[in-house]
Amino acid sequence: MYTIKTEASFDSAHFLKGYQGKCSNLHGHRWRVVVEVQSDKLKEDEQNRGMVFDFGDLKSLLKDMCDNLDHSFIYEKGTLKEKTTEALMEEDFRLIPVAFRPTAENFSKYFYEEIKKKGYDVRRVEVYETPNNCASYEE
């Protein structure tokens, strides 16, 4: 099995509703996302011969996904009061509501599934919320 691996990062704020500890407060991370895709054979067309996938294509897909989340406040739907989101939007802050608790574990599954939807055979996605703390998802 051949694999290629690329990474990108984004900065965002989040908090964990219902968590007892520091992460219940609004704070930020530089999220580092490492994606590994696989193939049991290499491409044979002239452009991509000898490659699993074009690194550039995977890299730009991942970069676009990270850029969309960059410098935003990511929160789980239903965890902020309506008046809070209204007030933040009035300030023109960039809010990104997601359907999951915004943990590194859930982000790793989110990236895994989104990249898989683009036709990649994803082996594993790792998401670092600090240089020392990493969660990953694979099937």
> Are the C-beta atoms of 68 and 44 separated by less than 8 Å?
no
Pairing of strands 133-137, 27-39: unpaired
Q: Annotated catalytic residue: which of 27, 44, 71, 82? A: 71
The minimum distance between CB 6 and Zn ion, in angstroms, equals 24
23 carries an active-site annotation: yes
Active-site residue, selected from the candidate residues 36, 76, 126, 129: 129
CA 38 to chain CA centroid, nearest Å? 19
Structure-token pair, residue 102: 């915004």
Say how far apart CA 6 and CA 55 lie, in whole Å.
8
CB of 21 to Zn ion, least distance (A): 10
Span interacting with Zn ion, options 22-30, 59-67, 73-81, 88-96, rule CB under 5 A: 22-30
Catalytic machinery residues: 23, 71, 129
Name the site residues for Zn ion (rule: CB under 5 A): 23
